[in-house]
Chains A and B, each alone.
Chain A
Amino acid sequence: MKEWPPGVEPRVWKGTMPVQFLYTAGVAGERFFQTLKRKGVFLATRCEECRVTYLPPRIYCEQCFADLSETWRAVAPVGRVHTYTLVQVDREGHPLPSPEVVAFVRIDGTDGGFVTRLLDVPPSDARIEMPVEVVLRPPRKRRGILDDIIGFRPARGKRKSVQVSRR
């Protein structure tokens, strides 16, 4: 059976995989999101040995496996644009009504950050290392999920440039 049998139509069978997912945030994530919801504050964890501050927080240091359960601390929800991109089309490839600026924001005083939208800034004004601050949903509308962060906007007022710890 080396060639296609004569007179036979190549057939395609269609189907799906019927799954939906419900993800827990984990021990660290649960505490992070509940605190974000109730107090509007970012929590991080820190490994002193490796000098790493984890945001989003973890209960273990990925480098030395130290248990970080007792190292929670609050950090100010401000940071800098580490990198950004201009998104012109949606997931299906249709043009967006106006381009969106999606950025990775590094939060000051940590080694982490968030992928987020840059708000209140015309795309042409977006800059790497631009200081930004978080925009959260109003307290009553928060649900303890990532969506409680609407985005980040340019920081109001002058700030000294902050030295971000490097590994």
Chain B
Amino acid sequence: MRRALETGKELSYYAASQALETAGVRLKEIQAVVMATAPDAFDGVHMKGDWLLDGAGAVRKPYLRAYVGGGSGVFSIISGWTLVASGLFDLVLVVAEEKMSSCQPHPQGAFLTIFDHTIERPLGPNLLWIFSLEQHRYMATYGIRNEDIALVSVKNKRNALDHPAAQVAASLTVKDVLASEVVAWPVHRLMVSPISDGAAAIVLASEHVARRLCDKPVWVQGVGWSLDTSYWGNRDLAYPRYVERAARMAYEMAGISEPRRQIHLAEPYDPFAYKELHHLEGLQLADRGKAPEDLASGRFERTGELPTCPSGGLMGVGNPIAAAGLMKLCELFWQLRGEAGARQVPGNPERGLAQAWGDLMQVGTVAVLGVD
């Protein structure tokens, strides 16, 4: 939601307690907790990972904070996975939280510090520049039009109409999107995800515990992450190579050699409309510069060949920075178990991918999930 009465701790508690209840696990059976939460400056609490921990059920337990900005939501399950796969723990709770409404007059005041303090901030930058500059380069490199990109807003906001937590779901056309005010050309207002407060949580278990607790566990089959240089002016802005590296790491672990055939649905990170397309190309799920064509042909619809953001994504559900990535993982969980209700993609999908991004605009975090 846009702004919650609840403190960050209470938001974490709601998500964590519901994850435990639906998993049929009690707090005392949880052996370790991972919390993903992005800059302290949003909630305005120093060391907020440690402050939130009682709401995440982590009192007197081994606890770690996963922190790569917006990539944290998927980095949380990667960190949780390492705790279980290493044999150290059998039952781990993973929670993600963000309360951005505390940051006034606008969370951009904290986001501004993404720019270099000495050679960028004196230029009076705006966070939107990072995105608009990247989107323009992407468009110019491949001859993509704004109309092609606006379709992502249309698809995701429409998908979100079926999501119970949706903050900005809507029924729009491309024309509506492009009629919204230009904030930083080529970005229009309806191509930007909102500021949000929210939390999400999942329960991870080792194989023997999972089979005892659950008739249809969803397995973490592959994880990957990679960060690129913070000198973003030195990078190829048209292509997120760090997302490719993260994806390849996850695919190798999952034994995937043909991602377009073997991944049945994807939740790429979509803080801005063009980002979904940018990331799908990095994830090797579309050819470079061709994701917009695939989108226009219907390939990424819920009923298409490779449904993307069936949840509604950040563009439709909301963007509480760290929690957004974990929201995508929750969606995969429900989709792969056939429990996504009105959002369910048809055809019994068996394997899905979630990807998050953020930090200094250079992290890719990827998780591949599947059922037996």
Contact = CB atoms under 8 A, between A and B. Distances in A.
- A touching B, CB within 8 angstroms: yes
B27 A64 contact: yes
A26 B103 CA distance: 16
Question: Would you list the 9 A-B pairs with minimal beta carbon distance, nearest first?
Answer: A21-B44, A26-B7, A62-B54, A13-B118, A65-B27, A19-B109, A18-B109, A20-B104, A60-B13
B181 interface: no
B10 A27 contact: yes
Interface string A56-69: 00111011110100
Contacts of B110: 17, 19
Interface of A: 11, 13, 15, 17-30, 58-60, 62-65, 67
B6 interface: yes
A25 to B, nearest CB: 7
Contacts of B103: 19, 21
Chain A facing B: main interface SS: mixed
Given A19-B104, A19-B110, A23-B102, A65 B7 contact: no
Nearest to B107: A19
Contacts of A23: 7, 44, 102
Contacts of B13: 59-60, 65
Contact of B10 (A20, A21, A28, A65): A28
Contacts of A11: 118
Interface in B1-23: 3-7, 9-10, 13, 16-17, 20
A20 B105 contact: yes
Contacts of A28: 10
Given A26-B5, A26-B6, A27-B10, A60 B109 contact: no
A67 B7 CA distance: 16
A137 B17 CA distance: 38
